[in-house]
Chains A and B, each alone.
Chain A
């Protein structure tokens, strides 16, 4: 079993070939961004968000309607403003912030479980609005022809567009990682962890904890919406049914498997769980018949199994969180940071 698990990535990559691998890595990069967003909320602050897919969806739709052409015959949606793609992404991030405030402000001051319950509902509500509200986002038919960034330039330069997409997704992932790392490995992140550990005591040492919870929820929501926006422009099409609640569960599994509270763990989790999720169908023929014929049920079960096994046997995930929150205290932390983004770190530090 162990050997088989070890061979799995190679087997899957081989079965899928280069094109599949490039597409897979693009997907992993986008999911990695999403998991980084959840990590701010759950990993650092202990805020439960069961509506991850809602933020992803809002980001995808917002960027789509901002950048699409105006509706043609038989189509009806708001926007169609033909704005440049980066503007769409900024709009998506803003929409993520608005959604986070709308959900978070009324609930984050109350008990933790209130927010958890509220977030379960929002994805379902948003999906049904998208499906039924005429003239909003073209209902169940979805939005098509969402502009794909740099496509013209890529073909002019004779580049394979899939590789360009991978490069874009990877660069955004890197940028988000650096921003999130800078934000969290800091005194700000220390307040978040204190809230996660013991909110009442954090209040009694002067921290306005509700305020910090909202900040962390909004930052996480912004990051998740950005992931959704990139997704929309990568696939070129969005429709309500793509955003089901299992997706939220998948993202949670990625965080828990990778290591909640660790930003590198979040990205690793996206890769590890993504490999199972997207790879299993490729090796269908190598599986015993009983499993191979039910490969889509099997992979859902495997995700469930992974989350249970990790929670029981390795709750800290593949990469546990760092003991010390503030990067200023870690090995080499005495050195001055010259520019906020590029803090030099020692390997393993």
Chain B
């Protein structure tokens, strides 16, 4: 398997605080990789740097063989890298359906001239995109909420909306930040299956942040463990989770 995402020596400081402090890891194409670590380890900050929301202070990020370090988020998205947010970021005063319909690239109607000159094409595209959006909402059991304001969804539903929105583009890599937080156990299982099947059927690579060890063990083929802004270890889940250093990082030194 080739490497799709490569992060090397990534540094992000907030004031004097090193939130990410030289993190280095890789994500193999076609894999589902877990990114784990205690609260404040710098996982979300890593995501923000990779997706372009923050520009790193040092280090390199390359995606599909090209360097993307410091590119703006919209440019990175266009290369096929999309992400979900740990704290859901919906477009509150827009319907759930249009939250999703916003996402696909190449919409003729997003260009004023085309929208004037090719109204037919716009209408046809809108119909297709609406259908895709409805189908995607059904995957996360939000189809009943399609016409609601996204701002009226519950916390768990917003997390589901995050994932659904990421699926509306045609990404090669999705960074998923805690997909199951606040989502009920049955649906969590379904999400797990969904991510698996998308990985297989649509060739999407996933990098997933999660705290739920059970979910991680079932989902991921490979793990990256972060603490204090650095990568502690990476490898296959079994050996990583049996690693004494990992257990210490999670459970504290009294279990030494």
With both beta carbons as reference points, the residue of chain A lying nearest to B116 in the complex is identified as A340
Query: Is there a chain A Cβ closer than 8 Å to B90's Cβ?
Result: yes
Q: How far is the CA of A200 from the CA of B89 in the complex (A)?
A: 9
Residues of A contacting B149 in the complex (Cβ-Cβ under 8 angstroms): 323
Instruction: Pick the most buried of B72, B93, B169: most chain A CB atoms within 10 A of its CB.
Output: B93
Q: Is the CB of A336 within 8 A of B123?
A: yes
**Interchain residue pairs A-B with the least CB separation, the first 9:** A187-B109, A328-B126, A206-B77, A197-B91, A201-B89, A204-B73, A337-B119, A203-B73, A187-B110
In-complex Cβ contact of A204 among B51, B105, B112, B147 (8 A): B51
Q: Are A198's CB and B126's CB within 8 A? A: no
16 additional contacts, CB 8 Å, given A215-B112, A328-B109, A328-B126?
A186-B115, A187-B107, A187-B109, A188-B111, A191-B102, A201-B85, A201-B90, A203-B73, A204-B51, A204-B52, A204-B53, A204-B73, A206-B103, A206-B105, A206-B169, A207-B74
Chain B 55-85, CB within 8 Å of chain A: the 1/0 string?
A: 0000000000000000011100110001101
Contact of B109 among A203, A209, A326 (CB under 8 A): A326
Chain A residues whose C-beta falls within 8 Å of the C-beta of B147 in the assembled complex: 323-324
Q: Which residues of A contact B (CB under 8 A)?
A: 182-183, 186-188, 190-191, 193-194, 196-198, 200-209, 215, 219, 321, 323-326, 328-329, 333-334, 336-337, 339-340
- Residues of chain B with a CB closer than 8 A to A209's CB: 74
Could you tell me the distance in whole angstroms from the C-beta of B165 to the nearest C-beta in chain A? 7
CB <8 Å contact, A328 and B91: no
A37 to chain B, nearest CB (A): 15
When the two chains form their complex, are residues A194 and B91 in contact, meaning their CB atoms are under 8 A apart? Answer: yes
- A340–B94 Cα gap in the complex (Å)? 24
Inter-chain CA distance A325–B94, complex, in Å, is: 8
B101 interfacial contact with A, CB 8 Å? yes
Q: How far is the CB of B149 from chain A (nearest CB, A)?
A: 7
The complex places the Cα of A208 from the Cα of B93 at a distance, in Å, of 20
- Shortest C-beta distance, B36 to chain A (Å), equals 23
The verdict on B130 contacting chain A, using a C-beta distance below 8 Å, is yes
A191 near B110: Cβ-Cβ < 8 Å:
yes
Partner of B94 from the list A188, A194, A215, A219 (CB cut-off 8 Å) is A194
Task: Point out the residues of chain B lying under 8 angstroms from A191, CB to CB.
Answer: 102, 110
Chain A at the B interface: mostly helix, strand, loop or mixed?
Answer: helix
What residues on B are CB-neighbors of A200 within 8 Å? Answer: 53, 73, 89
Asked if A193 meets B93 with Cβ closer than 8 Å, knowing A205-B77, A206-B74, the reply is yes
Q: Judging by beta carbons under 8 Å apart, are A201 and B91 in contact?
A: yes
B98 at interface (Cβ–Cβ under 8 A)?
Answer: yes
B97 at the interface (CB under 8 A from A): yes
A193–B98 CA distance with the chains assembled, in angstroms: 10
Query: Taking the complex as formed, is B145 at the interface, i.e. its CB lies under 8 A from any CB of chain A?
Result: no
Partner of B95, one of A182, A188, A323: A323
B192 at the interface (CB under 8 A from A): no
Give the chain A neighbours of B78 by CB distance below 8 A: 206
A337 to B117, CA, bound (A): 12
CB distance from A175 to the nearest CB of B (A): 14
What are 5 A-B pairs at a CB distance below 8 A? A182-B115, A187-B126, A204-B83, A205-B102, A329-B97
Nearest CB of A to B163, in Å: 13
Establish whether residues A205 and B119, one from each chain, have CB atoms under 8 Å apart when the complex forms: no
Q: Is the CB of A329 within 8 A of B102?
A: no
Task: Given A200-B53, A203-B72, check contact A188 B119 (CB 8 Å).
Answer: no
Q: Is the CB of B74 within 8 A of A208?
A: yes
